Structure 1
Amino acid sequence: MKASRGVRLTPVPLAAAARGAVALALPLLVGVWTGSVVPAVLAGIGALWGVGQDGSDPYRLRARRLGRMGLAAALGLLAGELALRSGHPAAVPGCLVAAALLAGSVSLRGRSASVSGMHLLLGVTIGTGIPVPGPWWQPPLALLAGVVLVIALSATPWLWRRHSIERDAVLAVYRAASEALSAAGSPGAEAARRRLTAALDHAHQVMGRHLTRRTRPGTRLNALRGAFDIALRLGEVTSALVWEARPLPRHVRDVPPLMAARLLPDGATAPAARRTAAPDTAPAAVPAVPGSADSPALRALAALAAESHRARPAESAARLPAYPWHDRAAQVRYTVLLAVCVLVAQLCAQFLHGPRGYWLPMTVAFVYKPDFAPVLRRALHRCVGTVVGVAAIGAVTELTTDTYVLIGAVAAFGAVMAVGVRHHYALATTALTAVVFVLVDMLGDHRALYSARILDTALAAGIVLVAHFALWPDSARGRAGAQTEAALAAARRYRDLAADAAPGQRHALRRAAYHRLAEARRAVAHAQEEPGRPGRSLPAWEDAITAAERLCDAVSARNLGGRGPASPGPESCGPKTSGPRSSRGPGSCGTTPPSRRPGPGAERREPGAPASRCTAGCAVTG
């Protein structure tokens, strides 16, 4: 983890690392002790894939995702095994192509579907590439047992930490709000506000299923819902204060942690808040900031702080909007390309290795995931991780071939993989490569394949990159354009909100706008990492997103009772942008915060006046 250049440190997930070590080592130990090594290895493969999809989201969502992934992988393994046992020369390639078509058709429909589709294809590659003795039903059940073990290890803390994940997510919003208030009036204000948006997005996703359920008064979940509703309103107030662009004193910056100490008293709130306020008290007012006595945002913060001691669940946005994926034509293109890449990889594997040529199509299934990360970066990390993993497991086997030592190495690599899936894909690939070598060796394949697997990985990555950038070079660009278009439309809906709209509707539109703008920013960053066609640059999507974020901040200030932003001058509107799905995009429409507004003689519009539009199509409302 790096701390330089403003990169925020992320704690090492020790609990997940421990789960990864136990989940991978336990089936192998049981298999060695009982003599059932083959089912144990298959259970280890299931645990390996389960560790790769373990996460820190709420326990029920985690168990549901792992369960769907396990079922898809087991069905894929069964289909591949039956195709291999049939003995027909076209059965294995046909099964792989059919699985690739099915996996590709669902992979761009959402994150959960993408994970299930990928593991369906992975199950088929293992089933068609590794002959397994015994009855046909045993391998799928063994693999599913490994996934169930990961589910049990991952979800067991629910028994004594039932809502701790939700509580931590809501608490993070208050901390992010305090950081944003601290950065107000500084060059880092917008970045801090974006971190607040990310914290709100995460808390909203974590709390999503609880927002539509009835809760009994006085319960922990009811208190969490009340704290989340206050957090939604705090986000609006904080955005307005950031838009005002004036530094705030410490007693204003400390309001969010004081509120958190009152609303979430049984956890690790900020030390300053614990020293300043007792759990049964709440700040009744926010002292005025010199020169800003008329600030509606400060008055709203004071009212919200006074209300926090009697927070009750209110009407809030029940679900975050699903961000747009590729259209049907793009889904069909990805499906066909994935199937072609898998077929070419399988033919190359049969030519190079004959049977047991699973590594090439398996690597294609892992690498060709344009919805997970830029394809070029993913391919490079896969190659680097494979080289390092081969070197690591090669060093271990040079020292010893003792079974228990190798199982210990699998446990260590399982812990590394659990960390890698949260921090760096190359690190996760390093651990996965080493574990697979041990598992295959325990199945009886003692061939020295170190150099062959490195070449196979490079060949599979080359197949994916050639197919992707030759036949679909604008995939990331198209998704970024769709995401940006949807985000700007959400910002316009928030801008056009009626003044007498219900608070629940206002917060829902505000959250949808900021959430989609954050997703669009990530999609644009994704597109910027992908090489495009020579001489073709990306439109100014990032400038448009920044302008829309500032517009939403200004609308938040307007909704709290203040004046809207001054009408932008010509210099505040950037050039028009164009995307693959829209011939007109918004310009970089700026807004003028109170501290930089024109003087009394400048023209101002009343709140009910019509919107002033930039020449590029981005409206700024008063």
Structure 2
Amino acid sequence: MKAPLGPTTKASHGIPLTPVPLAAAVRGAVALAVPLLVGLWTGAVVPAVIAGIGALWGVSQDGSDPYRLRVRRLGGMGVSAAAGLLAGELALRSGHPAAVTGCLVASALLAGSVSLRGRLASVCGMHLLLGVTIGSGIPVPGPWWRAPLALLAGVGLVIVMSAAPWLWRRYGIERAAVLAVYRAASQALSAAGSPAAQDARRRLTAALDQAHQVMGRHLTRPARPHPELAALRRAFHTGVRLGEVASALVWEGRPLPRHVTDVPLRMAARLLPRRGGPAAAGELRDARAGRAREDAVPDSPGVRALAELAADTRRGRPDEPAVRLPTVEWHGRAAQVRYTVLLAVCVLVAQLCAEALHEPRGYWLPMTVAFVYKPDFGPLVRRALHRCAGTVAGVAAIGAVTLLTTDSYVLIGAVAAFGALMAVGVRHHYALATTGLTAIVLVLVDLLGDHRALYTARILDTALAAGIVLVAHFALWPRSAAQRATALTEAALAAAHRYRDLAPGAAPAQRHALRRTAYHRLAEARRAAAYAHGEPGRPGRALPDWEDTIASAERLCDAVSAHSLGAVPPAAARPVPRGAGVCAVGG
């Protein structure tokens, strides 16, 4: 869950929405309904509900990335959540309230210490804390080992359903990511000479970053004698070269005719023909027509480079750049320590409030803290507001259902529908995902035999927990987002200058690696700047102008790319002053 929810949705960061993930929605509905139906038919309702919680968390982490990464993430999440559930359950069974509080604080310290070390570690840390909150807040009858096993069974069901397509489309995800590079390159060429050119070039960078991450494991290991994988590797490396050519053509700033902007699509048709045989007859005709027309286009160094690259797709293997994208830690050791302490303090305050307010608060307050306080998943204020809005909507939705009927089968049907909604929300909007999650949790609690009127209490508890997180964070660490944006902008500037300084004398493969690193870091810096602007600033204190600095560095990289292809004299690639527009942001 990232609430128990998965990664922050793309829509919350201003990235265009992707198509509705129908397959994920179906998986979410089935994974949540099946355990509950089995429990209802066999009479083992409590283990079924715990398995449903595991499926709920699994659905929240079910993504569209390569199958191996999905299995790693879901497996790590399941093991962490089961371990947390066991620890919380043992603390609750001890009968000492202090044991529950101590277990929650200890798990928060552990979760916080690993959460800023990468996406997988963050997911595992959060679900460790979620497992402890559920285990210590919901009494589960039966032997101590049954609940963790039931939770793992629910996660396992999601793993099987999510990874099953690997059997019939093993490299389908990689293929889609690489093809997206060629489509983005065609769109960037179509936008050349227009005000939308830079935005189109940034979308090409984003597509290359995504393809690089998806293909990463295949690029770092020795080539296997699998024809589809070999074709994907070649297409990806050609796409990296295409990114340089597209940047140069965008920099040249001239509108390009249709038969030039379609060259990337014809290259993709040659490098990655449709499955089941060669490219379709229409694609082959377009490719031949394109080759016949390439000689008639207006001459420029960028167009000549594009023609040369298109010709290379019909012959030898292109130069292969270095294959590892750089990674940047969220902030470093000091930030990890500060976040760890703040998370533990927030969990402790939430648990003390729960004890003071008595039931039906229980686990809901610390659980909401675990959901909301994820500064590596997006701006905290937006996340907290979406959490509160989603909780209100989820309570209203399930309240409407229960007003009509309390039949168990109807409620399980509602869980399936909200599971599908949550699977869509995880990819599109955090509030939508929280809506589905809240409704599902309230049904699960009801199936456990707790029939109290919890709706108003859950809304108030969510608002209280979100308030605890926001007050603690912005009182004790108000400039965390600005610090990260400044650090990533400085790193991006360094990468851009390194590309400018080393590209003229570098071999093609090294030049492509330098260029990919520079643009990747610039994209990271731009996202961090958008994140920082999404958080409230201190009154009277202006934020640095990161965007202007990043845009200047992008223009520098475009000029270097153009010069590398002979499009401009060296003097045209003017340097960006180091640190331009980036003020130091104090601790």
Into which bin does the TM-score normalised by the smaller protein fall? over 0.9
Give the drift of 1:353: 2.4
- What secondary structure, in the 3-state scheme, does the structure 2 residue paired with 1:499 have? helix
Write out per-residue CA displacement over residues 315-362 of structure 1, whole angstroms, 9 at most, x where no aligned residue: 233221112311211111111111000000001111112476000000
Partner of 1:300: 305
Distance 2:292 2:502 in 1: 30
Q: Show CA shifts across 1:466-499 (max 9, x none).
A: 1011111101111111111111111111111153
For the 8 Å contact 1:285–1:305, the answer to whether it is kept is: no
| 2:385 pairs with 1:377 | no
CA distance, structure 2, for counterparts of residue 568 and residue 559 of structure 1: 11
C-alpha distance in 2, partners of 1:11/1:247?
30
- Residue 223 (str. 1) matches residue 228 (str. 2): no
Residues of 2 paired with 1:555 and 1:569: CA distance?
Answer: 9
Deviation by residue 1:533-567 (Cα, 9 ceiling, x = unmatched): 11111111110100111111111111123334645
Aligned-residue offset at 1:288: 5.2
What is the aligned counterpart of 2:537 among 532, 536, 539? 532
Q: How does 1:352-367 map to 2 (within 5 A)?
A: 352-354=357-359, 357-367=362-372
Structure 1 position 464 matched with structure 2 position 469: yes
* Alignment CA distance shift 1:556-1:279 (3 Å): closer
In the alignment, which of 253, 264, 267 is matched to residue 261 of structure 2?
253
Which residue is 2:250 aligned to? 242
Counterpart code for 2:235: A
In the TM superposition, what is the alpha-carbon distance from 1:277 to its structure 2 partner?
3.2
Which position in structure 2 is the counterpart of 1:600? Answer: none
AA partner of residue 213 (structure 2): Q
Q: Does 1:335 align with 2:340?
A: yes
Normalised TM-score (structure 2)? 0.93
Question: Which of 388, 392, 409 is the equivalent residue of 2:414?
Answer: 409
Which residue type is aligned with residue 145 of structure 2?
Answer: W
**In 2, distance between residues paired with 1:158 and 1:568?**
46
- The amino acid of 2:516's aligned partner reads R
**Contact 2:31/2:157 (<8 A) preserved:** yes
- Within the alignment, does 1:98 sit opposite 2:106 as a pair? yes
Over residues 82-130 of structure 1, what are the superposed CA-to-partner deviations in whole Å (9 max), with x where a residue is unaligned? 1111112310110000011111111111111111111110000001100
Q: Distance in 2 between matches of 1:539 and 1:273?
A: 54
TM-aligned CA distance change 1:184 to 1:450, over 3 Å? same
Tell me what 2:59 maps to. 51
CA 1:415–1:313: 2 relative to 1, 3 Å: farther
> Residue 267 of structure 2 contacts residue 313 of structure 2 at CA under 8 Å; is this kept in 1?
yes
Q: Which residues of 2 match residues 280-319 of structure 1 at below 5 A?
A: 283=291, 286-287=294-295, 289-290=297-298, 293=299, 295-310=300-315, 312=317, 314-319=319-324
Q: Residues 581 and 561 (structure 1 numbering): CA distance in 2 closer, same or farther, change over 3 Å?
A: farther
Could you say which residue in structure 2 is the equivalent of 1:77? 85
- Counterpart of 2:197 in structure 1 is 189
Higher RCO, 1 or 2 (CA under 8 Å, sep at least 6)? 2
For residues 461 and 64 of structure 1, do their structure 2 counterparts lie closer, same or farther at Cα, with a shift above 3 Å needed?
A: same
CA distance in 2: counterparts of 1:183 and 1:272, whole angstroms: 27
- Correspondences of 1:603-618 after superposition (within 5 Å): none
- AA aligned to 1:479 is R
What is the identity percentage for the equivalent residue pairs of Structure 1 and Structure 2?
A: 77
Q: Does 1:233 align with 2:238?
A: no
Match of 2:75 in 1: 67
TM-score (normalised: structure 1)? 0.88
- DSSP-derived class of the 1:323 partner: coil
Decide which of 186, 193, 197 is 1:178's aligned counterpart: 186
- 1:36 corresponds to which residue? 44
Asked if the contact 2:20/2:424 (under 8 Å) is kept, the reply is yes
RMSD: 2.6
Question: How many residues in Structure 1 have an aligned counterpart in Structure 2?
Answer: 576
SS at match of 1:156: helix
For structure 2, the 5+ residue unaligned runs are 1-8
In the alignment, the residues of structure 2 paired with residue 497 and residue 2 of structure 1 have an alpha-carbon distance, to the nearest angstrom, of: 35
Q: Deviations over 1:374-427 (max 9, x none)?
A: 000000000000000000000101100100000000000000000000000000
Distance in 2 of aligned mates of 1:259 and 1:133: 62
Instruction: Give SS of 1:68's match.
Output: helix
More helix by share: 2
Q: Structure 1, unaligned stretches of length 5 or more?
A: 583-622
Matched AA of 2:347: V
User: Residue type of the partner of 1:543?
Assistant: D
Q: How does 1:549-560 map to 2 (within 5 A)?
A: 549-560=554-565
1:125 aligned partner, one-letter code? T
1:143 to 127, 141, 151: 151
- How has the CA–CA distance of structure 1 residues 136 and 378 changed in structure 2, closer, same or farther, with 3 Å as cutoff? same
What residue is the counterpart of 2:6 in the other structure? none
Distance in 2 between the 1:252 and 1:581 partners? Answer: 49
The amino acid of 2:345's aligned partner reads V
What does 1:503-542 correspond to in 2, within 5 Å? 503-542=508-547
Contact persistence 2:394–2:435 (CA under 8 A): yes
* Structure 2 partner of 1:620: none
